[in-house]
Structure 1
């Protein structure tokens, strides 16, 4: 896949690019790549959840838990390097991506807190675990902190980019001067 120029439209190509670069933390990514991955990821998640009742009838419960964990990891992991490359596109260092740790850490702590006996209180789902939480002095700050961190991450994905080249590489929206585009959408050298 050619990484020198990213078309500025939502497409499956950009969604697969995010998956193909799941372990690439250098370079830059566009907002179109983020939206493409989110859109096609949600579409794939819809299909998997549509097929899930069939799997539940034919597979043991433990196998479904493992499949759910694998699917959640497969769908979640590319967001981290995608955020790092998106931050690079804005001229920010990778350390901003550590915001992902807040909702993850909070979810793990919330799952360790006592469960509500009457089914009232906040509900939490993390991977394939779901439970009703009892209100404790720790519940509200963890929930509020997670919501704030998730909103901050969402905003970071969509903040404007640094135009032109920056210290993390060339602008992925600008085709190099010695290349042009033809009907197929691929780059062609002169």
Structure 2
């Protein structure tokens, strides 16, 4: 939960680097919260899904920020996120980028976050 809250605290921070763990824990908690909101909306028989829509809007900028910082951690520009607009192949390439390890040393986006004392 601390990783999720750390991303929310950096609400619209698009510079720096984010570890794999930070990115994937944020994704995991988003998935869990999305399932819970979907379940609650299903119980309420609410067809529109207003809770999910509001939650999606609230976490859009933090999600974008952590994805850009994750790309920075691998030595790539945040503009690589636009690759996701290419059907299937773009998403596969982005998934690979999000799964690979960090640059071991300092890069143009900052020091390696694994080496920083938390």
Q: Normalising TM by the smaller chain, what interval?
A: 0.7 to 0.9
1:57-83 deviations in whole A, cap 9, x for unaligned? 6xxx5xx34433223333444332112
Q: After TM superposition, give the deviation of residue 154 of structure 1 in Å.
A: 1.3
Distance in 1 (CA, whole Å) between partners of 2:52 and 2:37 is 10
The match for 1:44 is 33
1:118-163 deviations in whole A, cap 9, x for unaligned? xxxxxxxxxxxxxxxxxxxxxxxxxxx4222222221111122111
Which of the numbers 7, 11, 17 marks the counterpart of 2:6?
17
Higher relative contact order (CA 8 A, sep 6+): 2
Aligned ranges 1:34-183 → 2 under 5 Å:
34-56=23-45, 61=47, 64-100=48-84, 102=85, 145-175=86-116
What is the TM-score normalised by the length of structure 2? 0.83
In structure 2, stretches of 5+ residues that fail to align are none
CA RMSD of aligned residues (A): 2.1
Q: Which has the higher strand share?
A: 1
Q: Which has the higher helix share?
A: 2
> How many residue pairs end up in the alignment?
118
In structure 1, stretches of 5+ residues that fail to align are 1-11, 103-144, 177-186
Question: Which structure has the greater CA radius of gyration?
Answer: 1
What is the TM-score normalised by the length of structure 1? 0.55
